[in-house]
Amino acid sequence: MKMLSELEYSLDKEHIIIKDVICSFAKVGSLDGDKNSQYRLDGNLKKLQEIYENTNFRHKYSKIFLIISSIDKIEKTNSGNILSIDDLMHSMEMAHEHVSSHGEYENSFKKCFDKLYDHVVLEILQIKYMREIENKGEANNASTIKELKNATSLAQIASQNASRATNRLDNMQKEYITILGIFASIVFAFVAGLTFSTSVLSHIHQASIYRLSFIVCLIGLFITNILHYLYAFIREIHFSKINQDSEKQKECDVFWKSLKNGFCNSYIFRFNLFIVCIMCAIFVYWRFFDLNAKVRQSIENNHTNNSNIIIELNSTSKASTPIR
C-alpha cells in the first residue's frame, strides 16, 4: 500500500485537496470541541466548497479508497500527527451534521459532500469489517494450530505408548522363552542328578564309605548350585527391571564389583565352601589316614598268598604220591 506522500503522484489537484481534508479530519482530537475545532472545520469545508461549487468535479471512489487505506496503514505522519480512522469517522459525522444543519451551503455542495461522506464512511466500515474478519481468522488459525499441536503431541504419546507396548511384548516373549528354557534345564538337572545318583547308589555295596561320601557331596554340590542359580535368574527376571540402554564402563565395573561382593557374602558361597571343605577332608583322610583300608588290603594280600601256597602244596603232594 502506498504512503500518503507517495499518493500525490497518482492524484490530481482536486483529489490532493480531498486527501488533505480527510487527513485533517483523521487527526486524533482534531474536532474534540476546543477553540480551534470550529476553525479547522470551517477551513476544511471551505476547501471542499472551492472544488465542488466552482467546478463540475466529481470525486472517484477508487481514490477515496487509496487515501483511507493509506491512513489505516500508518500511525503517524511526517509531521508527527497521529491518524485514526475512528477519529475520521467521528469528524465526518460532525461535518455532515454541520453542513446539513446550516443553510449557508448550497444544495449542490450538500449533495457532493453527502456522497463524499457516504464513500468515506462506507470505506471505514469495510476496513473495520475486514479487520474483524482477519482477527477472527487469526484467532481461528491460532486455535487450529493449538489443536494441531495437541493432536500432534497426542499422536506422539500414542506412538511412544505403542512402541513401549511392542517392546514389552518382545521382552515378554523373550522372558517366556527364557523361563521355559530354565524350567527345561531344571527338569534336565533333576533327571541327570537322579540318574547319576541312582547309578552311584546302586553300587553302594561295592564302594567304600569315603568314596560314597565324596560322591554324595559332589552330587549335592552340583544339584544345589544348578537350582540356586536357575531360581535366582528367574527371580531377577520377575522382580528386576531390565535396562535396555548401554551402560558406561564405570557402571559395569561397579556392577561386577557389587556382584562379586554379593556372591562372596551369599549363602550359596558359604554352602559351597562348607561342602568343598568336607570333600577335601574326606579325600585327605581316605588318602593318608585310612588304616582300616591298609589293614584290609594287607589281610587280603596275606589271604591271597596263603591261598596260593595251599594250592601249590596240594599240587605238589598229588604229584609225589606213587601210583599203585
Name the phi and psi angles at 189, rounded to 5. -65, -40
Cα atoms in the Cβ-side hemisphere of radius 13 Å centred on 318: 6
Q: Residue range 112-127: average pLDDT?
A: 89
Q: Residue range 59-88: average pLDDT?
A: 77
In the predicted model, is pLDDT for residue 53 greater than 70? yes
Residue 262, pLDDT score:
54
pLDDT-based confidence at residue 63 (cuts at 50, 70, 90): confident
Residue 279, pLDDT score:
87
Cα atoms in the Cβ-side hemisphere of radius 13 Å centred on 320: 6
- Percent of the chain topping pLDDT 70: 70
Residue 323, pLDDT score:
47
pTM here? 0.47
In the predicted model, is pLDDT for residue 321 greater than 80? no
C-alpha cell at 116: 463524499
Residue of 31 and 20 predicted with greater confidence = 20
Residue 1, pLDDT score:
44
93 neighbors 114 (Cβ within 8 angstroms) = no
Residue 277, pLDDT score:
92
In the predicted model, is pLDDT for residue 2 greater than 80? no
Q: Which region, left, alpha or beta, applies to residue 29 given φ > 0 means left and ψ of -120 to 50 means alpha?
A: left
Residue of 124 and 74 predicted with greater confidence = 124
Residue 16, pLDDT score:
86
Q: Residue range 218-236: average pLDDT?
A: 79
C-alpha cell at 311: 594250592
pLDDT-based confidence at residue 305 (cuts at 50, 70, 90): low
Question: What are the pLDDT digits (tens) for 175-215?
Answer: 777 778 777 777 777 777 677 667 666 766 666 777 778 88
| CA 237 – CA 239 distance, rounded (Å) | 6
In the predicted model, is pLDDT for residue 137 greater than 50? yes
Q: Residue range 19-41: average pLDDT?
A: 79
C-alpha cell at 75: 500511525
Q: Which of 268-277, 289-298, 304-313 has the lowest mean pLDDT?
A: 289-298
3 neighbors 69 (Cβ within 8 angstroms) = no
Q: Residue range 14-34: average pLDDT?
A: 80
In the predicted model, is pLDDT for residue 241 greater than 60? no
Q: Residue range 46-63: average pLDDT?
A: 83
Strand segments (E) across 231-292: none
In the predicted model, is pLDDT for residue 115 greater than 80? yes
Q: Which of 113, 5, 110, 117 is nearest to 67 (CA)?
A: 5
Average confidence score pLDDT of the chain? 75
Q: Residue range 51-61: average pLDDT?
A: 81
Residue 299, pLDDT score:
62
If 0-12 CB within 10 Å is exposed, 13-18 middle and 19+ buried, where does residue 9 land?
exposed
